[in-house]
Structure 1
Amino acid sequence: MSKIPTINWKSQLIKLLLILIILAVIAVFLHAIASLIVTYVPALNPYLHYLDLTIDALIVGIGGYFIISVIRRIINIYLLGKVESSTAHTISLFIDIGLYSILILIILSALGVNLTGAAIGGAVGGIAIGLAAQTVLSNVLSGTLVTSSKTLKPGDNVSLISWIWGNPIVGETTKVGILFTEVKTVNGNIIKIPNSAFLGNTIFTKLEGENSLVYPYQITVNADVPAEKVLVKANNYIKDYLSNIKMELPEIYFTNKNGGTNVFTVIIHFNKMNDLNKILDVINKAFDQAYWDIKNEKS
């Protein structure tokens, strides 16, 4: 495992301080030369103010460049060094845009530009850029919160329920990135979920039990046959089916009556995510067969 490089803070601060001192000395020296030139060439006096602004902007630009270099190095080592390269490149791009935008504004201010008018003129463009970046930044924030809080990590067997995608996503988490989280579903396909869907929109249920994976499953059956009879028959069928394939028997409960339907909850115990579809197939067939057996007995 490669060791993450560190920064010698003391040397970096001393180096940065020396650069700023040198730039300040150069600024004073250039201002003095400009004043001296104007003394010998009076015709240039109306332009002295602009010359001083240009010198200030030049010094601010150079100093800002060195400061940004140090900030970017810190971010690359302590933040971007911990994420995947493609994601790090995207985040680095946004950080560069932000830092250099601030530097440009400072340089314009040093040149005497009225930033209030510029801000009003760029408001529409800022809104457009903000809307475009909102999704990416939301994904980055959500991904950071999910990974730092360890709400979800690779290897977790989970059920993800959200109004955004309707049916629950059940599977094994394979990757938790800054922008997307990958889940391998019980059907074997890989789903990439935007991390922004997790903040306030998703319920996480980890399937880990004490000795096995546990998945609660609800089945709705028409209430035109007695629930107790359906429960008994379905339970017997499930025992027969699962005994043949040597799987642990589930716990079955009659949990709710909703108008013209009866709701049963089946607590499924299994060891491998790949087994879940087989067990669900057995349970669904058992309840369907139990219902129609009782229905035919009544007729």
Structure 2
Amino acid sequence: MKKTNQEVVVNRVKWILLGVTSLAAVAFAAEHIFFQTAGTSAFGYVKDINNLRQVNKVLQNYELLVIYNQQNSKDDLYLVDTNLKTKYSLDVDGITGKLKMNTRTGDNLQTLLWEKAEDATEVNYDHEFGLVTTGLSQCCGANTGYRIYDVKSGYLILSFNSFSDNPVVQHPFVLDVPNSQMPQRYIGIIGADSTRDQDFGAPDAGKVKTALVKMGIVNKFYQRLQIDMAVASGYAPSILSVTMEKDSNVTGSDKIEISRDVATLWNIDGSTEPNAVEGVQIKIILNGGLGDKTVIIPVLKDRLSLDQATVPEGVSLKALAI
């Protein structure tokens, strides 16, 4: 018996649906879950005991960092699991936060590496250098204090304030030697108005503590320098700007590329000698009511150089014991 056009169409639809169902079944059967986890985010808008409108947020998030391992020529996986709780008011300035985080690795993310908890209001990541960056904001003009952790070990490399125009803070100043296995050098500046990690020493006579300049690498803290400054009556010290520049006094520094606070040291391309790390300088402009003061600290032989630093009148620079 000859089939009608309607029957032919129905049969074709059946075969198409059967094919789609079969493909879906194959795809489902082929899926293999290496690792799976879940968490809960939340939002609350409330009135607190002081009759102020308050926003409560819980953000559960996950970030997978893929880092090339030069020793075995493969990608290593690092899953950062974060739970960030923040509170802020619509009626007064200020924010508070609590952060819990842990990191896993392994082909199936089966190995728990480290866990941490701290006061924080934000968390960011640097995929290129393998960093977890936490920030703590507060209120009243305080400068957000950031910390960078090595994602592999959880090691706190250093803390810093950001003086960059980058909208997302992922790292402080970075010195990177291309085609080398030497770890990156990090340079961070902390001001006296930082929300955390103001580990200053006593200021010099007649001056006030103004800034800390730190340099470190993964698993090894290098240096901590302190800048003190004389200020006018009624003034507090202020850091107007911090920039990283090429040091024209170092041969080959013209080859260095500086972009987004990262100095790529092409002047020592491929070097494995730490003492070869040089060619940039940190320029810090300060003011305490007595005019602008410019401090310049060069990096020479893998160190922030006290001897070659430019320190104006009314300002002092000294090394602190680690």
Report the TM-score range of the alignment, normalised by the length of the smaller protein: under 0.3
Q: TM-score, normalised by structure 2?
A: 0.21
Higher helix share: 1
Higher radius of gyration, 1 or 2: 1
Q: Which has the higher contact order (CA 8 A, sep 6+)?
A: 1
